[in-house]
Amino acid sequence: MAKRLWPCAFVLCFLNLALEVKNGFGLQKEGQRTCIVGAGYSGLGTARYMKDYGVNFTLFEATKHVGGTWRFDPHVGTDEDGLPLFTSMYKHLRINTPRLTMEYRGFPFPEDTQSYPTGECFHKYLRSFAKHFELEKYIQFQSFVTLIKWAEDHWNITYTKVDTKETRTAECDFVVVANGEFSTPVWPSFEGQDIFKGKMIHSHDYKDPEDYRNRRVLLVGAGPSGLDLAMHLSNVTAKLVHSHHLNYNQPFFSSSYVKKPDVKMFTSNGVMFQDNTFEDIDDVIFCTGYVFSHPFLDKSVGITATGKFLLPLYQHMVNIRHPSMVFVGIPKKVLNNVLEAQGEYAAALAAGKFELPPQETMLKSWLRHVRTLHSRGMKILDVNVIGNEMDNYFANLTQEAGIYRRPPVLSDIRDFNARYRLEDLLNYRDYDYRIIDDYKYERWYNPRKGNPCPLEI
């Protein structure tokens, strides 16, 4: 099936785009306006560079707050204004990659901050960043974008003012979509799921380990959230049953922790696994990841957007059919620094600091990328993956747009952390990191009691 899908992707994209081949794109004409969607990590980073480059811009944020998924919200399902809950933050979360790979350029944490601060501390960092660069005056809060549509020579962005319920439309010449990736959960489906009498949630709605004290809990999945929740819950629950197929150096969580293979089916009071063993369960938490969500993209945008991928995007960013639209935050298996670099690239493009190639050239570049993936046995679902090519990606953005070259040491830290996290899950956050130069870093053991955060807003 996958082999049939690839040629279709080639042909459809080529037919859709070949009809509108234009010259290269460069913006920044007097009176033009750029619009950014989302005031999370990606949107704030992009806004900083828009300001640096003197671009006239407005940032639309659905909530009353900056920080996106990094802001803890005690509500479940919808927020205080009735909006879908965009954040997946929970109590006691700590970041799972060293902060040096997540800091904005020129705006480091205080030097004595631990390398793996809490989610609350990282949200303070984002708020501090927005304050330092005076970004809030460019943000239109409580403006929930519902439609982005191409209107011949500009973009129409329709949004609802959350406080007044009024619907408005803004005209924009350049659009950056930076609405994040971790708000629309993946819900698996199993036989008997509908008759289970206990509570089932996705980790998107998980808030506090105390909610599960002395309960029998099933965790499904061993991605970052699944492993983190195993650490949070193993000493709180009466029994923690963890269903996954990750091969890693599993630590001793607690005597109440039980490892199980994949789920086979649910009953009214428990679950059967693929090895035909059974466990009585009170609650289920699905740690099964997230999908992209861009319900506001009109078909006139010219992008194929699904929960699994967006295509075709030049440099994993630029809408090839309408190059005055850029996405920040789509690449998978990357560090936050990639998103910041994308934000600088988007701002440089909006400011006219460089010119894109003709559409035909961009399309050919994208098709080469797709063919390379195919030759490696990868699927269309992997079309937005950068992964091990991250450092080359930094180099390509710099070569084309003249933006700051993020150093190779960031990729090395990423790769080491990814390996060591699975070797010593319970202790890997007790180490601190320091970058020595573009190619070297040091690491030492330095546990901190209470996870202090030296940041003040």
Predicted pLDDT of residue 29: 63
The dihedrals phi and psi of 141, each to the nearest 5 degrees, come to -75, 165
- In a domain, residue 281? The reply is yes
Q: Are both 179 and 208 inside the same structural domain?
A: no
Q: Are both 247 and 364 inside the same structural domain?
A: no
pLDDT in tens, 199-257: 999 999 999 999 999 999 999 999 999 999 999 999 999 999 999 999 999 999 999 99
Is 61:43 a contact under the CB 8 Å cutoff?
yes
pLDDT, averaged across the chain: 93
- In a domain, residue 176? The reply is yes
Q: Are both 167 and 57 inside the same structural domain?
A: yes
Whole-angstrom distance, CA of residue 151 vs CA of residue 301: 9
Q: Classify the phi-psi angles of 258: left when phi > 0, otherwise alpha if psi is within -120 to 50, otherwise beta.
A: beta
**Smallest Cα–Cα separation from 245: which of 226, 229, 222?**
222
Whether 9 has a pLDDT exceeding 50, the answer reads no
Q: Are both 260 and 271 inside the same structural domain?
A: yes
Domain boundary among 251, 286, 321: 286
Predicted pLDDT of residue 429: 98
Buried b / exposed e along 1-38 (16+ C-beta atoms within 10 A): eeeeebeebeeebeebbeeeeeeebbbbeeebbbbbbb
- In a domain, residue 437? The reply is no
CATH number of the domain at 280, please: 3.50.50.60
- In a domain, residue 451? The reply is no
Q: Are both 63 and 206 inside the same structural domain?
A: no
Whether 444 has a pLDDT exceeding 90, the answer reads yes
Predicted pLDDT of residue 27: 54
Average confidence (pLDDT) over 2-21: 46
Q: Are both 132 and 246 inside the same structural domain?
A: no
pLDDT in tens, 298-340: 999 999 999 999 999 999 999 999 999 999 999 999 999 999 9
pTM as predicted? 0.93
Q: Are both 159 and 12 inside the same structural domain?
A: yes
Q: Are both 310 and 241 inside the same structural domain?
A: no
- In a domain, residue 442? The reply is no
DSSP 3-state of 48: helix
- In a domain, residue 271? The reply is yes
Is 259:274 a contact under the CB 8 Å cutoff?
no
Domain boundary among 239, 256, 286: 286
pLDDT in tens, 137-157: 999 999 999 999 999 999 999
Q: Are both 64 and 167 inside the same structural domain?
A: yes
Q: Are both 278 and 298 inside the same structural domain?
A: no
Predicted pLDDT of residue 30: 63
Q: Are both 105 and 213 inside the same structural domain?
A: no
Domain boundary among 390, 409, 428: 409
- In a domain, residue 453? The reply is no
The domain of 255 spans: 187-286
Whether 31 has a pLDDT exceeding 80, the answer reads no
Predicted pLDDT of residue 2: 42
Q: Are both 46 and 60 inside the same structural domain?
A: yes
Number of separate domains in the chain: 2
Whether 22 has a pLDDT exceeding 50, the answer reads no
pLDDT in tens, 352-408: 999 999 999 999 999 999 999 888 888 889 999 999 999 999 999 999 999 999 999
Whether 1 has a pLDDT exceeding 50, the answer reads no
Average confidence (pLDDT) over 448-456: 93
The dihedrals phi and psi of 149, each to the nearest 5 degrees, come to -135, 140
